[in-house]
Structure 1
């Protein structure tokens, strides 16, 4: 349970065994990096880190929807096992076929309904799920008693195995969805059911036979518990990897933004002697940073041509004249994320031109090509040797990595005295 600050304390494994699959939907916000540390470590050490439950958590709707599918395994088991037990009953030539057939049909129908209900695309309703589980328990008890009261004593054992398969699946279902205590409690009902069934069928209790059936139920309970542990720890490890990757990606984004905005502007200001120009550059940079802080979209909603036009006006204040040529484009065909990636990559290419090309003119051309959008930034400046000058952070991260993140690509071509050509491509 969370405390007043929304923090969860205690042991994740204990909570998983106590509450079942819904615990998988509690996503830790600040799970430590130790479980995904690539360095060699003992398995028990990683397990302990994964098992720590402290820190703030959020109930994740996607994880909750995914966790419900664990119930498909016991439901499908019963869809196959109950008809199998009925077929064995028929093959034995026993009497009392009709009541056993009725129980088998109802069991399969109930489980098929459960499978269809789980696979719906609608929001998962926990209250309705609880009612369905309650109905399942009532059917399990009623099916055992009905079979015991209607079949001949000679057919009792074989007939009782048909609702018994339903009970086995129910133990696994309750263990996975509600926890080990609920699964164990359902398993223990087999003993009084067996006693009641024997009394209804032959008029006497048979404790020895009732105890004999508990071994199979205990095996199912242990198997379901092991599956729950493996699923829980696997999900926990996947979350740890995702959180670690997200942190690394966020750091890369922050480094890229600092490089493309503050660092570039500071370097440009260092080259300026005009106080008025310095004030304009500082004001423009302050406005850009404010936009980034106030909205992660940074200019969302405007067509790509307008974004690039605003970018040309921005670099013009720094002394670079950029001619933007945009063919007729379907802006709706290119997502906002890819438009922003193109814009920011072009910004980096323009600033590289201003710093290194020794020219104040550059052409930016945008056109549709090869199932996507191609943007070419071309200058006729000094150029550079790609063999003797490895790509720096700007080309590697601010251009190539940024385009790769949205499924695109970037190519830089340059030679001394021949200028530089940067070709960006993103798919529609």
Structure 2
């Protein structure tokens, strides 16, 4: 027995409307976000391909309700515009048309407020409101047709007619192509009945006269739904891919700054007796084991930037590097926690480079506000290096520069042989 065929994301989108985007992350193909150049149609086919219907992201589901704001806002403006045009024409039957227009505008404003409310989103409540919307639209057309004089009929029907046009777009976006098509088909007998209410005769030609406009709205709404759905899925695929790459880079940096640094330090020639060297290795291993555990568990990084840098200086002192910390008065709320941690981690890597390569055990760390942000400068007077001969590696390009860049900052490393090294870490507010 063959396995059931996977559902198509595009087909699901057309059947269910914007809420189908809640499952956009299900069954994502890695090839969707492949950065290699591919023909646009091929990428679109991949994006519209198989989807896991069991996947359902509640945040995406709540976000899809905002799609309905466009047809609702259109109806507020279009109904008001049609009413203004009707009143300017000097037709009879003003009272029922104005009353219907006020009710329709108020209903759509209520719909907009319902969408932006902070209460949890419930799909059943949305379906009931959409059903009530269809009923109200039908009733509005019949009321205007029954109460306005025949000479004013065509102009008056533009008011509830705009509501009907917006309803086709609303149902297509919110529930899918089938529901929008159903309302479009319903508009034909509705128009015929409206003519019968007003003139006493069923005019088939007039009943189908607005069908082309309805079809145009249906096609436009369907196109918007498809583009929005495919664009959302493609954006999610790129976001997931980049998130994985960022997490992989973060793990690489963490391993470099903990395990690899510890192993390299242990491999350096030690001074003193074998017992002293063994004791130092045990102390170093224990300290980095604690640091690695804190990193994995997310327990480090609390407190303001000054406290983070002070703790970092104490940490480096245990490894034999005396860091003089010069702190200007910084606003505690100057930087977010993410940016503070990025500066602290980049400064740790710079200090470890000093410990391993500079040939000095002294360094100055200065923190100050500069150019609309915070700058941390690590300065040593050690051996330095020739920047043109420095091979690329995790020490600067990944653990220092990448950390600052990811958080929105900048890193500048200046050095020359015999003149020491200056590392400037800058982060905007």
**Structure 2 length as normaliser, TM-score?**
0.88
Q: Within 2, Cα distance between the matches of 1:92 and 1:310? A: 78
Q: Is the 8 A contact 2:310 2:325 kept in 1?
A: yes
Gaps of 5+ in 2: 271-276
Q: Within 2, Cα distance between the matches of 1:29 and 1:266? A: 41
Aligned to 1:288: 291
What is the Cα deviation at residue 228 of structure 1?
0.7
What is the Cα deviation at residue 328 of structure 1?
4.2
What is the Cα deviation at residue 124 of structure 1?
4.4
Aligned to 2:55: 57
What is the Cα deviation at residue 270 of structure 1?
1.0
Aligned to 1:102: 99
What is the Cα deviation at residue 74 of structure 1?
1.8
Aligned to 1:114: 111
**Structure 1 length as normaliser, TM-score?**
0.88
What is the Cα deviation at residue 174 of structure 1?
0.7
Aligned to 2:212: 215
Aligned to 2:324: 323
Aligned to 1:343: 344
Q: Within 2, Cα distance between the matches of 1:89 and 1:330? A: 61
User: Which runs of 4 or more aligned residues in structure 1 lie more than 6 Å from their structure 2 counterparts after TM superposition?
Assistant: none
Q: Within 1, Cα distance between the matches of 2:304 and 2:269? A: 33
Aligned to 2:309: 308
Q: The residue matched to 1:105 in structure 2 has which SS?
A: helix
Alignment partner of 1:179 out of 176, 179, 199: 176
Q: Within 2, Cα distance between the matches of 1:250 and 1:185? A: 47
Q: Is the 8 A contact 1:381 1:418 kept in 2?
A: yes
Aligned to 2:274: none
Q: Within 1, Cα distance between the matches of 2:27 and 2:338? A: 27
What is the Cα deviation at residue 146 of structure 1?
1.1
Please, what is the CA RMSD of the aligned residues? 2.6
Q: Is the 8 A contact 2:24 2:51 kept in 1?
A: no
What is the Cα deviation at residue 392 of structure 1?
3.2
Gaps of 5+ in 1: 1-7
Q: Within 2, Cα distance between the matches of 1:326 and 1:275? A: 36
Mapped pair 1:386 → 2:387: yes
Number of equivalent positions? 418
What is the Cα deviation at residue 90 of structure 1?
4.9
Decide whether aligned partners of structure 1 residues 177 and 323 sit closer, same or farther in structure 2, where only a CA change above 3 A counts.
same
Q: The residue matched to 1:322 in structure 2 has which SS?
A: strand
Q: Within 1, Cα distance between the matches of 2:336 and 2:94? A: 63
Decide whether aligned partners of structure 1 residues 154 and 372 sit closer, same or farther in structure 2, where only a CA change above 3 A counts.
closer
Q: Within 1, Cα distance between the matches of 2:329 and 2:77? A: 59
Tell me the alpha carbon deviations over residues 177-205 of structure 1, each in whole angstroms, 9 at most, x when there is no partner.
11112112222221332232233223333
Q: The residue matched to 2:208 in structure 1 has which SS?
A: helix
Tell me the alpha carbon deviations over residues 338-361 of structure 1, each in whole angstroms, 9 at most, x when there is no partner.
221121111111111111111222
Mapped pair 1:227 → 2:224: yes
Mapped pair 1:269 → 2:266: yes
Aligned to 2:10: 13
Q: Within 2, Cα distance between the matches of 1:380 and 1:59? A: 54
Decide whether aligned partners of structure 1 residues 88 and 313 sit closer, same or farther in structure 2, where only a CA change above 3 A counts.
closer
Aligned to 1:5: none
Mapped pair 1:249 → 2:252: no
Q: The residue matched to 2:157 in structure 1 has which SS?
A: helix
